[in-house]
Structure formats: C-alpha cells, structure tokens
Amino acid sequence: MPPTPPKTPFRCPECGFVQLESPSLVSTNCRSCGAHYEVTASDQVRVGGETSLPSFAGKKTGQAKPVHCLKCGRTHEVSQKAQSTICPGCYAPIELIDVSINESISRAVDTRGHLKLGPKGIIGNNWIVCGSARIEGVFNGHLRREGEARLAMQKPCPGRITAGSVLIERKAQIDSAHPIEADQMAVEGKLRAPVKSRGIVRVLKGGWLEGTVHSPSLVVEKGGVFVGDCHIQPLQTTAPAEEAAETSVDTQPPEES
C-alpha cells in the first residue's frame, strides 16, 4: 500500500478549531462549529524547521487567547470562541470547554476549562490537565491544574496533584502518599498528605492537616489542627532585602469544646 500523505493543520477563522487536512486543501467545513471557509495552500511556510499554521483568504479570527501545551511546551493562540484546538507543535488535541465526569474513563483529559469529577467518577489515565477543578471522585494519574483545585473527596487519593491554589473543602477526608504541590493552600477539611507549597499554607478553623509541610509560611487558625513536621523555606526573590525577609509560623492550638 502507498504511504499515507502527511496532513497539515488548518485553523477555522470562526471558532479557532484546528483540524488536520490535506496540504492541497482549498476549502473545508469546520468539524467544531460547522462553518465553511477557504484557505490557500501557498500560505503554508516553514520557520525553524516547523510548519506554521496557514493564514486565511477570508475572515480574521478576532481577539485571540494563548493556549500552552504541556506535552511539547509550545504556546499558540486561538479564538475566544474556540471549544478545542490541536497543538501545532506535537498535534496533541486540547479541549477548551468545561468537562464533567461521573463515570469510569480511561482516556486522557486535556482541557483549559473547568473539570468536575463527580463522586462516581474515575479517571484511569496518567494525563489529566485542566484550567480549574472540583474533585470528588478518584484519579490514578498526575492531575495538573493552572488555576484553583477544590478537593472534596472522602476517600484515599492515589494520584498526584499540582495546582495554582488548592482548597480542601470542609467535608473532605483525604489520604495521599504523594505530595500535593501548589502555589498556596487552604485546609477546611481533613488532609493527611505531604505538602509542598510555593506560598502560604493555611489551616482554617475546623481544618486538620497531618503530614510534612514545605512552605514559606504556615498559619494555623484558632480551631485548626496541624500534626507533623514543618520546613519553612523563604521565597526565592531577586532582591537581597526580600530574600532576608522573615517568614512567620502561627500554630495556635484548637479551641476547647
């Protein structure tokens, strides 16, 4: 059989969705929004050994937003209306919409929208990326979030978590052998896990944190409980005066009933 000819990525001018088509494509219908658009194959150019996305003979995409691919590290722009895209560097599909899961799945999850993993939801894939999330179910891989992660599980957590900020909700009861990594963290429920934070860690009233904490600052509010080792690591800054700034630890005992 003759080899399959390579395909080229083309972006829809209406919604920004990127799909792979024949390099000799003249016009097509977008598989995301259904819009019909024309393209020019001669607009395809090579820069630094990589093929850039062709330009269009018709409408412009309007104001764009950046999408960063964690697989190859490339950032490209899509329309504000786009619901999905394909990385022009490694051709990885990336969703831009909210995703709700309340069943067992084994596929990768890669979205810049909100991920909601319900109580019956199970993700059995190592690749889990989202913009923000609320987690009640179980995941077995590495969950990466660009924004806030709200954890409400009442069961052991076998996966890894890396996020911008993490909130352990009041009814949560979480046990994890893997460190939870975040820019900042607040604990309202019960958490038994190692914590690595680049910012402040707060144990709020009614919260329970048990484990080893690495953070520039740990604050335990009145009514909160911390059990474990705390390693205070100052923030890395460029100014010597800032590097010498002291970080505080406030560990008040819980209120007596």
pLDDT greater than 90 at residue 254: no
- One-letter amino acid at 152 equals A
pLDDT greater than 50 at residue 218: yes
pLDDT greater than 90 at residue 39: no
Q: Which pLDDT score is estimated for 235?
A: 66
Q: Which residue has the tokens 């016009």?
A: 27
**The domain containing residue 49 runs over which residues?**
8-69
Residue 77 included in any domain = no
Residue 240 included in any domain = yes
Domain co-membership, 114 together with 173: yes
Domain co-membership, 121 together with 206: yes
pLDDT greater than 70 at residue 93: yes
Higher pLDDT among residues 5 and 100, named by residue = 100
Residue 164 included in any domain = yes
Non-local CB neighbours of 30 within 8 Å, separated by 6+ positions: 12, 14, 15, 17, 19, 36, 37
- Confidence band (pLDDT; 50, 70, 90) for 133? very high
- Confidence band (pLDDT; 50, 70, 90) for 204? very high
Domain co-membership, 142 together with 203: yes
Q: 18: domain CATH number?
A: 2.20.28
Residue 168 included in any domain = yes
Domain co-membership, 64 together with 115: no
Q: Do residues 197 and 219 touch, judged by C-beta distance below 8 A? A: no
Residue 79 included in any domain = no
- Confidence band (pLDDT; 50, 70, 90) for 23? confident
pLDDT greater than 70 at residue 247: no
Instruction: Quote the CA–CA distance of 211 and 181 in Å, as a whole number.
Output: 13
Residue 244 included in any domain = yes
Non-local CB neighbours of 162 within 8 Å, separated by 6+ positions: 142, 143, 144, 145, 181, 182
Least confident segment among 32-41, 158-167, 172-181, 222-231 = 32-41
pLDDT greater than 60 at residue 232: yes
Most confident of 16-30, 92-106, 202-216: 202-216
Residue 148 included in any domain = yes
- Confidence band (pLDDT; 50, 70, 90) for 70? confident
Strands 46-47 and 36-38: unpaired
Higher pLDDT among residues 209 and 244, named by residue = 209
How many domains does the chain contain in total? 2
Domain co-membership, 140 together with 230: yes
Q: In the 3-class helix/strand/coil scheme, how is 143-205 assigned residue by residue?
A: EEECCEEEECCCCECCCEEEEEEEEECCCCEEECCCCEEEEEEEECCEEECCEEECCEEEECC
pLDDT greater than 90 at residue 233: no
Residue 80 included in any domain = no
3-state helix, strand, coil in the chain (%, to 5): 5, 45, 50
